[in-house]
A and B are shown apart, each in its own frame.
Chain A
Amino acid sequence: GQQVMQIPQYQHVQEGEDFTTYCNSSTTLSNIQWYKQRPGGHPVFLIQLVKSGEVKKQKRLTFQFGEAKKNSSLHITATQTTDVGTYFCADMEYGNKLVFGAGTILRVKS
Protein backbone atom coordinates (compact mmCIF):
# COMPACT_ATOMS: atom_id res chain seq x y z
CA GLY A 1 0.00 0.00 0.00
CA GLN A 2 0.85 3.64 -0.22
CA GLN A 3 3.18 5.13 2.37
CA VAL A 4 2.94 8.64 3.71
CA MET A 5 6.17 10.05 5.12
CA GLN A 6 5.79 12.65 7.87
CA ILE A 7 8.43 15.01 9.26
CA PRO A 8 9.69 16.11 11.66
CA GLN A 9 9.31 13.30 14.15
CA TYR A 10 9.47 15.67 17.07
CA GLN A 11 9.45 19.43 17.65
CA HIS A 12 9.84 21.39 20.82
CA VAL A 13 8.92 25.09 20.52
CA GLN A 14 8.63 28.09 22.78
CA GLU A 15 5.08 29.23 23.34
CA GLY A 16 4.24 31.82 20.71
CA GLU A 17 6.51 30.32 18.06
CA ASP A 18 5.13 28.77 14.89
CA PHE A 19 5.08 25.05 14.10
CA THR A 20 4.82 23.11 10.84
CA THR A 21 4.57 19.41 10.07
CA TYR A 22 4.86 17.97 6.58
CA CYS A 23 3.57 14.87 4.85
CA ASN A 24 4.93 13.55 1.57
CA SER A 25 4.01 10.71 -0.74
CA SER A 26 5.73 9.32 -3.82
CA THR A 27 2.34 8.83 -5.47
CA THR A 28 -0.75 10.97 -5.83
CA LEU A 29 -3.01 11.07 -2.80
CA SER A 30 -6.78 10.87 -3.24
CA ASN A 31 -7.29 13.01 -0.18
CA ILE A 32 -5.46 13.71 3.05
CA GLN A 33 -6.80 13.98 6.55
CA TRP A 34 -5.21 15.46 9.66
CA TYR A 35 -5.68 14.28 13.23
CA LYS A 36 -4.53 15.46 16.63
CA GLN A 37 -3.86 13.08 19.49
CA ARG A 38 -3.37 14.61 22.92
CA PRO A 39 -1.10 12.74 25.34
CA GLY A 40 -3.05 9.78 26.68
CA GLY A 41 -5.93 10.46 24.30
CA HIS A 42 -7.23 9.15 21.02
CA PRO A 43 -6.91 10.73 17.56
CA VAL A 44 -9.38 13.50 16.84
CA PHE A 45 -10.24 14.50 13.29
CA LEU A 46 -9.16 18.02 12.32
CA ILE A 47 -9.74 18.37 8.60
CA GLN A 48 -9.84 16.72 5.19
CA LEU A 49 -8.23 18.13 2.05
CA VAL A 50 -9.39 16.90 -1.32
CA LYS A 51 -8.55 19.40 -4.04
CA SER A 52 -5.18 20.16 -5.59
CA GLY A 53 -3.67 23.29 -4.02
CA GLU A 54 -6.40 23.46 -1.40
CA VAL A 55 -5.80 25.67 1.65
CA LYS A 56 -8.04 25.56 4.71
CA LYS A 57 -7.82 27.45 7.98
CA GLN A 58 -9.09 26.74 11.45
CA LYS A 59 -8.24 29.67 13.70
CA ARG A 60 -4.44 29.43 14.13
CA LEU A 61 -4.17 26.23 12.05
CA THR A 62 -3.54 26.34 8.30
CA PHE A 63 -3.71 23.19 6.20
CA GLN A 64 -2.38 22.92 2.66
CA PHE A 65 -2.58 20.28 -0.05
CA GLY A 66 0.10 20.42 -2.72
CA GLU A 67 -0.63 21.17 -6.35
CA ALA A 68 0.41 17.66 -7.35
CA LYS A 69 -1.51 16.14 -4.41
CA LYS A 70 1.67 14.47 -3.21
CA ASN A 71 2.30 16.56 -0.13
CA SER A 72 0.48 18.36 2.61
CA SER A 73 1.33 20.54 5.57
CA LEU A 74 -0.17 21.72 8.82
CA HIS A 75 1.04 25.06 10.16
CA ILE A 76 0.20 26.40 13.60
CA THR A 77 0.73 30.12 14.18
CA ALA A 78 1.76 31.31 17.63
CA THR A 79 1.60 27.98 19.43
CA GLN A 80 -0.09 27.67 22.78
CA THR A 81 0.28 25.01 25.45
CA THR A 82 -3.09 23.61 24.40
CA ASP A 83 -1.53 22.69 21.04
CA VAL A 84 0.60 19.99 22.68
CA GLY A 85 0.10 16.53 21.19
CA THR A 86 0.91 14.37 18.20
CA TYR A 87 -0.29 15.46 14.78
CA PHE A 88 -0.92 12.78 12.19
CA CYS A 89 -1.63 13.00 8.52
CA ALA A 90 -3.54 10.11 6.98
CA ASP A 91 -4.20 9.01 3.43
CA MET A 92 -7.49 7.37 2.55
CA GLU A 93 -6.95 4.26 0.47
CA TYR A 94 -9.23 1.90 -1.38
CA GLY A 95 -11.86 0.47 0.91
CA ASN A 96 -12.00 3.70 2.96
CA LYS A 97 -8.94 2.61 4.90
CA LEU A 98 -6.81 5.27 6.55
CA VAL A 99 -3.03 4.92 6.33
CA PHE A 100 -1.37 7.11 8.92
CA GLY A 101 1.91 8.93 8.77
CA ALA A 102 4.37 8.45 11.61
CA GLY A 103 3.16 11.59 13.37
CA THR A 104 4.89 14.70 14.67
CA ILE A 105 5.08 15.16 18.42
CA LEU A 106 4.71 18.81 19.41
CA ARG A 107 5.85 20.04 22.80
CA VAL A 108 5.37 23.68 23.81
CA LYS A 109 7.45 25.41 26.47
CA SER A 110 5.63 28.13 28.37
Chain B
Amino acid sequence: SAVISQKPSRDICQRGTSLTIQCQVDSQVTMMFWYRQQPGQSLTLIATANQGSEATYESGFVIDKFPISRPNLTFSTLTVSNMSPEDSSIYLCSVETGGGYTFGSGTRLTVV
Protein backbone atom coordinates (compact mmCIF):
# COMPACT_ATOMS: atom_id res chain seq x y z
CA SER B 1 0.00 0.00 0.00
CA ALA B 2 1.02 3.63 -0.45
CA VAL B 3 2.85 5.65 2.16
CA ILE B 4 1.71 9.22 2.74
CA SER B 5 3.76 11.92 4.39
CA GLN B 6 1.52 14.67 5.75
CA LYS B 7 2.67 17.88 7.35
CA PRO B 8 2.46 19.75 9.55
CA SER B 9 1.31 17.24 12.14
CA ARG B 10 -0.19 19.99 14.24
CA ASP B 11 -0.40 23.76 14.42
CA ILE B 12 -1.92 26.50 16.49
CA CYS B 13 -3.01 29.45 14.37
CA GLN B 14 -4.46 32.86 14.91
CA ARG B 15 -7.93 33.50 13.60
CA GLY B 16 -7.99 35.25 10.25
CA THR B 17 -4.79 33.58 9.04
CA SER B 18 -4.36 30.66 6.62
CA LEU B 19 -2.61 27.32 6.91
CA THR B 20 -1.45 25.10 4.08
CA ILE B 21 -1.29 21.35 4.65
CA GLN B 22 0.84 19.16 2.42
CA CYS B 23 0.56 15.49 1.48
CA GLN B 24 3.26 13.60 -0.39
CA VAL B 25 2.56 10.06 -1.64
CA ASP B 26 5.32 7.58 -2.45
CA SER B 27 3.56 6.47 -5.65
CA GLN B 28 1.51 8.07 -8.40
CA VAL B 29 -2.22 8.19 -7.71
CA THR B 30 -5.04 9.60 -9.79
CA MET B 31 -7.24 10.89 -7.00
CA MET B 32 -6.42 12.32 -3.61
CA PHE B 33 -9.08 12.99 -1.03
CA TRP B 34 -9.16 15.55 1.75
CA TYR B 35 -11.18 14.92 4.92
CA ARG B 36 -12.02 16.86 8.02
CA GLN B 37 -12.54 15.18 11.39
CA GLN B 38 -13.99 17.48 14.01
CA PRO B 39 -13.28 16.63 17.66
CA GLY B 40 -14.95 13.35 18.62
CA GLN B 41 -16.64 13.07 15.24
CA SER B 42 -16.44 10.97 12.11
CA LEU B 43 -14.65 11.88 8.90
CA THR B 44 -16.29 14.23 6.40
CA LEU B 45 -15.04 14.50 2.84
CA ILE B 46 -14.05 18.04 1.88
CA ALA B 47 -12.99 17.53 -1.73
CA THR B 48 -11.46 15.22 -4.30
CA ALA B 49 -8.28 16.44 -5.97
CA ASN B 50 -7.39 15.26 -9.47
CA GLN B 51 -4.18 16.17 -11.20
CA GLY B 52 -4.70 18.62 -14.04
CA SER B 53 -8.20 19.70 -13.12
CA GLU B 54 -9.98 21.67 -10.43
CA ALA B 55 -10.85 19.89 -7.25
CA THR B 56 -14.41 18.69 -6.74
CA TYR B 57 -15.91 19.99 -3.51
CA GLU B 58 -18.59 18.37 -1.38
CA SER B 59 -21.69 20.17 -0.24
CA GLY B 60 -20.83 22.69 2.45
CA PHE B 61 -17.24 23.21 1.34
CA VAL B 62 -16.11 25.90 -1.08
CA ILE B 63 -12.92 26.62 -2.97
CA ASP B 64 -12.45 30.07 -1.48
CA LYS B 65 -12.31 28.60 2.01
CA PHE B 66 -10.40 25.40 1.17
CA PRO B 67 -8.31 25.94 -1.95
CA ILE B 68 -6.56 22.79 -3.15
CA SER B 69 -3.56 22.31 -5.39
CA ARG B 70 -2.62 19.11 -7.21
CA PRO B 71 0.49 19.92 -9.26
CA ASN B 72 1.43 16.27 -9.95
CA LEU B 73 0.36 12.69 -9.27
CA THR B 74 2.19 12.40 -5.94
CA PHE B 75 1.49 15.68 -4.18
CA SER B 76 -1.40 17.85 -3.01
CA THR B 77 -2.01 20.75 -0.68
CA LEU B 78 -5.08 21.92 1.17
CA THR B 79 -5.26 25.46 2.49
CA VAL B 80 -7.60 26.45 5.28
CA SER B 81 -8.22 30.13 4.66
CA ASN B 82 -9.30 32.98 6.90
CA MET B 83 -9.51 30.61 9.85
CA SER B 84 -11.95 30.83 12.73
CA PRO B 85 -12.14 28.67 15.88
CA GLU B 86 -14.80 26.55 14.13
CA ASP B 87 -12.06 25.33 11.77
CA SER B 88 -10.29 23.60 14.65
CA SER B 89 -10.22 19.98 13.48
CA ILE B 90 -8.02 17.22 12.22
CA TYR B 91 -7.46 17.37 8.47
CA LEU B 92 -6.45 14.19 6.65
CA CYS B 93 -5.51 13.33 3.10
CA SER B 94 -6.20 9.90 1.65
CA VAL B 95 -5.54 7.83 -1.44
CA GLU B 96 -7.03 4.60 -2.71
CA THR B 97 -4.59 1.71 -2.64
CA GLY B 98 -5.77 -1.62 -3.98
CA GLY B 99 -9.11 -2.15 -2.26
CA GLY B 100 -8.73 0.12 0.71
CA TYR B 101 -7.72 3.68 1.42
CA THR B 102 -4.53 4.86 3.05
CA PHE B 103 -4.64 7.99 5.19
CA GLY B 104 -2.00 10.50 6.08
CA SER B 105 -1.22 10.86 9.75
CA GLY B 106 -3.37 13.99 9.95
CA THR B 107 -2.90 17.65 10.79
CA ARG B 108 -4.35 18.70 14.13
CA LEU B 109 -5.32 22.35 13.75
CA THR B 110 -6.25 24.61 16.63
CA VAL B 111 -7.46 28.12 15.85
CA VAL B 112 -7.26 30.65 18.67
**Interface on A for B, CB 8 Å cutoff?**
33, 35, 41-48, 88, 95-103
Is chain A's interface secondary structure helix, strand, loop, or mixed overall?
Answer: strand
Q: With A45-B101, A45-B102, A48-B100 known to touch, is A98 a contact of B45 (CB < 8 Å)?
A: yes
CB-based contact A96/B31 at 8 Å: yes
Query: Looking at the complex, which of B61-69, B81-89, B103-111 is the stretch in contact with chain A?
Result: B103-111
CB-based contact A42/B101 at 8 Å: no
CB-based contact A100/B42 at 8 Å: yes
Contacting residues, chain A, for B100 (C-beta < 8 A):
33, 45-48
Q: How many residues of B contact A (CB 8 A)?
A: 22
Q: In the docked arrangement, what's the CA distance between A45 and B106, Å?
A: 15
For residue A56, give the distance in angstroms from its CB to the closest CB of chain B: 12
**Interface on B for A, CB 8 Å cutoff?**
1, 31, 33, 41-45, 48, 56, 58, 92, 94, 96, 99-106
Q: CB < 8 Å: which of A45, A46, A95, A102 contacts B42?
A: A102
Contacting residues, chain A, for B44 (C-beta < 8 A):
100
Contacting residues, chain A, for B101 (C-beta < 8 A):
33, 35, 43, 45, 98
For residue A84, give the distance in angstroms from its CB to the closest CB of chain B: 15
Q: With A33-B100, A45-B101 known to touch, is A99 a contact of B45 (CB < 8 Å)?
A: yes
Contacting residues, chain B, for A97 (C-beta < 8 A):
33, 45, 48, 58
CB-based contact B96/A96 at 8 Å: yes
**Cross-chain pairs A/B with CB under 8 angstroms, 8 sampled:** A41-B105, A42-B92, A45-B1, A45-B99, A97-B48, A98-B33, A98-B101, A101-B42
CB-based contact A42/B99 at 8 Å: no
Contacting residues, chain B, for A99 (C-beta < 8 A):
45
Contacting residues, chain B, for A98 (C-beta < 8 A):
33, 43, 45, 94, 101
Q: In the docked arrangement, what's the CA distance between A97 and B48, Å?
A: 8
Contacting residues, chain B, for A102 (C-beta < 8 A):
41-42
